């Protein structure tokens, strides 16, 4: 029994910090302002128990919380003031929503009697974020503050994880009440978590697996969120079925495993997309058949039976019609399923896949010699110089797809990327956030010259926190992926895609961190090693081929196996020193 504790009368602001401490929060990413001032004043008292990271923009705070959540599996917390502080969070919330990342955002709101009067820095943030949050709250009574925060953390991390926003008026932060906190009392009548899987599904699933000749397993983000890596591997090994991953499923299974084929979809490996189209059974684990994964829907994997296992029932039959939908936590279901599996191999099927794999070998950019640095080479060299626990955070665009193709991940939560929303500017703040969890692990942020300039202000945060991060800027002087589309589908009219960059070495110096520039292949390794030796943030700018494309590519509206492959010769390179390029 606990000793008698005297009743504690606390202000709303103090309650916020007490609740965060009870929830195990050690780092909060935020930016103070008028309507959240009482909370920041109370923080002064709690600053030894919780570390606050002062970001340079509220979007950065949400991405940092997101990066922390993705790296750790715990709930990330961001804090901001009302009005513009809150609206700046919307991109970060939408990013977390699309990729099911558990974050809790706390915003200040104008005092209750000002709500609805268009007061200074008032915005209806709960109204604005309904479509981009799992749930959101406007706390209107001090009595409900503690229970709301505990409910928010519970919702964020359970079921299909997602972002929660809590809007707290300034006068509630100042009001006092007796503090009582229990996360055991949470009762949300409308929150339905899936029950344990009914048996008839297991029998049907086993039957389909036993009948299949060309089966394939899909590993999505759900594998990582549910912690089902060893279960899905067991399923694959025992039944001899190869695994393809989605972009967010990368790391869910080790790339070095002989049954792991790699990424599927628009820029997926050609052998994976061929295998999907020829398969007679798809076992989709914790993924949602995004349009970047399927290509044209009515010709998608036409001959296969499809089993879809997901914790969110609203994903079933949303894009792709499936034969069996299993509404369950992935780990629980696979644990029940695995003992019923027969040991089996699919030698013929695997041989067929390795044939496709060999066929594309000659088209791999790494198997050719170029005089100019290629982005894929940079990523491959980073991979060679880092260990399997290194956390890679990518931004959005060509470098993101090349990372997915050329960096082999062995462990879950080692690739953090904005897959669903495709938020440019995600990587730098998310990497800073991840560094607060992965203190032991090396962190590499791989980012394009367009993306880095969207949130480059957070370099100051990295310096202030002395975050141990390495930033590899892949600079091709273009918004590369948009330019790729313009080259392929808009007759090479490069409308507003050429982009200039500041001198990143001087930028690094100005912000007070280490900066290097690499222009040739021979300098990559020494630059990487130098960055690794620095305790604190370091930038390497890689000047790469300006007009390379990411291959293979499935055009929108094309069949999944109708891929544009890298030409036999790189006639498409149009760099200034083009003549030297071709060997």
The smaller minimum CB distance to other proteins, of residues 81 and 148, is found at 148
Answer yes or no: 481 catalytic. Answer: yes
The smaller minimum CB distance to other proteins, of residues 112 and 530, is found at 112
User: Are the C-beta atoms of residues 62 and 92 closer than 8 Å to each other?
Assistant: yes
User: Are the C-beta atoms of residues 567 and 394 closer than 8 Å to each other?
Assistant: no
Nearest to 99 by CA among 387, 295, 393, 296: 393
Residue with tokens 């880095």: 452
The smaller minimum CB distance to other proteins, of residues 158 and 299, is found at 158
Helix, strand, coil fractions of the chain, as percent rounded to 5: 40, 15, 45
Q: What are phi and psi of 94, to 5 degrees?
A: -65, -35
What minimum distance in Å lies between the beta carbon of 402 and other proteins?
33
Catalytic residue among 45, 120, 178, 342: 120
Q: What are phi and psi of 12, to 5 degrees?
A: -55, -40
The smaller minimum CB distance to other proteins, of residues 6 and 190, is found at 190
User: Are the C-beta atoms of residues 285 and 217 closer than 8 Å to each other?
Assistant: yes
Answer yes or no: 29 catalytic. Answer: no
What minimum distance in Å lies between the beta carbon of 309 and other proteins?
11
Catalytic residue among 58, 381, 442, 545: 58
State the Cα–Cα distance between residues 137 and 576, nearest whole angstrom: 55
Give the single-character DSSP code of 232.
H
What minimum distance in Å lies between the beta carbon of 95 and other proteins?
17
State the Cα–Cα distance between residues 515 and 375, nearest whole angstrom: 19
Angle at 428 between CA 245 and CA 288, to 5 degrees: 25
State the Cα–Cα distance between residues 548 and 443, nearest whole angstrom: 26
The smaller minimum CB distance to other proteins, of residues 124 and 503, is found at 124
What minimum distance in Å lies between the beta carbon of 134 and other proteins?
8
Q: What are phi and psi of 139, to 5 degrees?
A: -85, 120
Burial of 506 (0-12, 13-18, 19+ CB in 10 A): exposed
Tokens of 163: 């972002």
The smaller minimum CB distance to other proteins, of residues 318 and 344, is found at 318
What minimum distance in Å lies between the beta carbon of 162 and other proteins?
10
For residue 36, how far is the Cα from the chain centroid?
29
State the Cα–Cα distance between residues 540 and 474, nearest whole angstrom: 9
The smaller minimum CB distance to other proteins, of residues 187 and 500, is found at 187
Task: Give the helix/strand (H/E) hosting 476.
Answer: none
Report the side by side order of strands in the sheet with 164-169.
Answer: 51-54, 27-30, 76-80, 103-109, 164-169, 135-138
The smaller minimum CB distance to other proteins, of residues 150 and 325, is found at 325
Answer yes or no: 170 catalytic. Answer: yes
State the Cα–Cα distance between residues 276 and 498, nearest whole angstrom: 36
Number of neighbours of residue 408 by Cβ within 10 angstroms: 15
Measured between alpha carbons, how far is residue 412 from residues 32, 269, 403, 547 in Å? Answer: 34, 20, 15, 33
Using CB under 8 A, list all residues that contact other proteins.
126-127, 130-131, 134-135, 138, 155, 158, 186-193, 195, 198, 312-314, 316-318, 321, 325-327
The smaller minimum CB distance to other proteins, of residues 49 and 318, is found at 318
What minimum distance in Å lies between the beta carbon of 116 and other proteins?
12
The smaller minimum CB distance to other proteins, of residues 317 and 520, is found at 317
Task: Give the helix/strand (H/E) hosting 287.
Answer: none
Task: Please spell the DSSP secondary structure of 387-436, one letter per residue.
Answer: -TT-EEEE-SSHHHHHHHHHS---STTSEE---SS--TT-HHHHHHHHHT
The smaller minimum CB distance to other proteins, of residues 317 and 526, is found at 317
Catalytic residue among 424, 481, 553, 563: 481
User: Are the C-beta atoms of residues 76 and 413 closer than 8 Å to each other?
Assistant: no
Query: How does strand 176-178 pair with strand 215-219?
Result: unpaired
Catalytic residue among 74, 134, 170, 306: 170
**Segments of 181-302 assigned E as strands:** 215-219, 243-245, 260-263, 281-285
By annotation, the residues acting in catalysis are: 58, 120-121, 170, 481
């Amino acid at each position: 029994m606990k000793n008698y504790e005297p009743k504690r009368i606390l202000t709303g602001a103090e309650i916020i910090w007490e609740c965060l401490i009870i929830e195990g929060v050690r780092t909060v990413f935020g930016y103070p302002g008028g309507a959240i001032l009482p909370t920041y004043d109370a923080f002064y008292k709690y600053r030894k128990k919780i570390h606050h990271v002062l970001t340079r923009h509220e979007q950065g705070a949400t991405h940092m919380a997101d990066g922390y959540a993705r790296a750790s599996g715990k709930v990330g917390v961001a804090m901001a003031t009302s009005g513009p502080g809150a609206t700046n969070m919307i991109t970060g919330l939408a990013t977390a929503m699309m990729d099911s990342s558990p974050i809790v955002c706390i915003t200040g709101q104008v005092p209750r009697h000002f709500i609805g009067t268009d007061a200074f820095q008032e915005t209806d943030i709960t109204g604005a974020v309904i479509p981009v949050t799992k749930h959101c709250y406007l706390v209107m009574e001090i009595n409900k503050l503690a229970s709301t925060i505990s409910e928010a953390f519970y919702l964020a991390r359970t079921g299909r994880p997602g972002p929660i926003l809590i809007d707290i008026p300034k006068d509630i932060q100042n009001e006092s009440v007796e503090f009582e906190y229990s996360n055991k009392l949470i009762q949300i009548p409308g929150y339905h978590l899936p029950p344990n899987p009914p048996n008839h599904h297991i029998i049907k699933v086993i039957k389909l697996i036993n009948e299949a000749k060309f089966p394939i397993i899909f590993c999505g983000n759900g594998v990582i969120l549910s912690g089902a890596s060893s279960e899905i591997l067991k399923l694959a090994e025992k039944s001899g079925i190869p695994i393809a991953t989605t972009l967010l499923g990368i790391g869910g299974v080790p790339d070095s495993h002989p049954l792991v084929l790699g990424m599927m979809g628009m820029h997926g490996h050609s052998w994976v997309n061929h295998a999907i189209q020829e398969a007679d059974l798809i076992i989709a684990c914790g993924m949602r058949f995004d349009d970047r994964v399927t290509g044209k829907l009515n010709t998608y994997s036409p001959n296969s039976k499809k089993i879809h296992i997901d914790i969110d029932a609203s994903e079933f039959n949303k894009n792709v019609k499936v034969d069996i939908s299993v509404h369950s936590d992935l780990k629980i279901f696979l644990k029940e399923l695995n003992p019923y599996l027969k040991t089996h191999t699919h030698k013929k099927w695997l041989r067929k896949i390795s044939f496709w794999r060999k066929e594309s070998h000659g088209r791999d950019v790494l198997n050719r010699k170029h005089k100019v640095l290629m982005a894929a080479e940079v990523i491959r060299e980073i991979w060679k110089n880092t260990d399997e626990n290194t956390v890679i955070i990518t931004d959005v665009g060509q470098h993101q797809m090349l990372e997915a193709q050329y960096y082999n991940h062995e462990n879950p939560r080692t690739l953090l990327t904005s897959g669903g929303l495709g938020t440019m500017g995600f990587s730098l703040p998310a990497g800073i956030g991840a560094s607060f969890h992965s203190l032991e692990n090396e962190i590499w942020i791989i980012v394009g010259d367009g993306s880095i300039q969207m949130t480059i202000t957070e370099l100051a945060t990295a310096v202030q926190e002395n975050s141990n991060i390495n930033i590899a800027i892949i600079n091709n002087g273009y918004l590369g992926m948009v330019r790729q589309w313009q080259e392929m589908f808009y007759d090479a009219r490069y409308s507003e895609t050429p982009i200039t960059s500041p001198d990143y070495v001087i930028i690094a110096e100005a912000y007070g961190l280490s900066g290097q520039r690499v222009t040739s292949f021979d300098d990559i390794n020494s630059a990487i090693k130098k960055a690794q030796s620095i305790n604190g943030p370091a930038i390497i700018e890689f000047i790469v081929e300006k007009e390379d494309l990411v291959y293979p590519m499935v055009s929108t509206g094309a069949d999944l196996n109708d891929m544009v492959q890298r030409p036999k010769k790189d006639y498409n390179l149009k760099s200034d020193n083009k003549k030297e390029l071709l060997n």
